[in-house]
Structure 1
Amino acid sequence: MLEIRALQIKRGARTLHYDLQVAQGEIIALQGVSGVGKSTLLEAIAGFVAPETGHLSWEDADLTHTPPEQRPVAMLFQDYNLFEHLTVMANLKLGVEAAMQYEIPRQARVLGIADQLDKLPGRLSGGQRQRAALLRTMLRPEPLILLDEPFSELDAETRRLATEWTKTIAERFGKTLLMVTHQSEDVSRLAHRAIHLNEADTDHA
């Protein structure tokens, strides 16, 4: 279980407050107006933002002050984290265990990017880059997956395919997943439940 208790994070003049529990294997959609702290919550879980106070744990292990590289977390940022000097295939292999790398061509075909594997990321469209980064994140060994607007560059049909694929992979490999999205279709297709963050959880200095 992911447990966040009385977590407070400073963002400029604002203090954001978080309390939530996510069961192992759950798929959660984080929703709320822009600026309410959805992406900040993912960054805090990943260890890139330090809390002022509070407690964050995974499977009863305290992660509150654990460095990012030691957390059981894989995160897809909005800028996709692709290395421009490496081919798409080389990017996809980064962080993916050798025993899982056989999945890459197969899953790339499902996502419609199999013909892009030998190219550099700079030659891909925004939607292709997004799918490549999503594929790498979902195949990583970490049990806790964080996705920040993972389908924002995709057209309606590709978005439907990608959300259904993400749910299939998450359930197949027992991932716990938190996703920031503004789209109700993403919630209905992918999430087990939604958590709504609101301004009531924010203090202004």
Structure 2
Amino acid sequence: MKNAYMQQVRALIAGGSDLLLVETIFDSLNAKAALVAIREVFDQDGLTASNKELPVMISAAVGRGGETLISAQTTEAFWNAVQHVKPLSVGLNCSLGPDLMYPFLDELATKADVAISCYPNAGLPNPLSETGFDLGPQDMARYLGDFARAGLINIAGGCCGNTPEHIAAIAKALEGQPPRQLTRQIERAA
């Protein structure tokens, strides 16, 4: 698995990627394999922050109890398992929808000293709804606006079930909202 991730990392770098996103992590061992692969590519290929070492973002999917879906780590345990990478951001995506995500996002924002991302599903899947998910654009805007007003997020968006209308509503709801304050400075890649 690590070797497959290494091939993907090299292809993304060769293709001109600006950052590497390890996302929808449902198992911390898979995340670790991807993160080790990224580090090994940077080291083996002689990459440094000044000549192509890309920022890394990490985002996990969680279940109803806030645990990662296969390894059943709590949100805090997941952060503890990946923080050594010093990612640009860590966050939650996909999963349950924003209505059930708040306490886990709050826990992550309390523990992590990097930017927090959040891009949830538009609720749970529902084959009877127009988009296949329960929440409409205004619902998503309300929830992510609440996250921003609570000072929980730096990066926002939508995952499964979000349409361009959902993203536009989220963007409008977040307009003028201050980002979450970080407890340490984020080092930006040149």
- Identify the TM-score tier after normalising by the shorter chain: 0.3 to 0.5
More strand by share: 1
Q: TM-score, normalised by structure 1?
A: 0.36
More helix by share: 2
Higher RCO structure (Cα 8 Å, ≥6 apart): 1
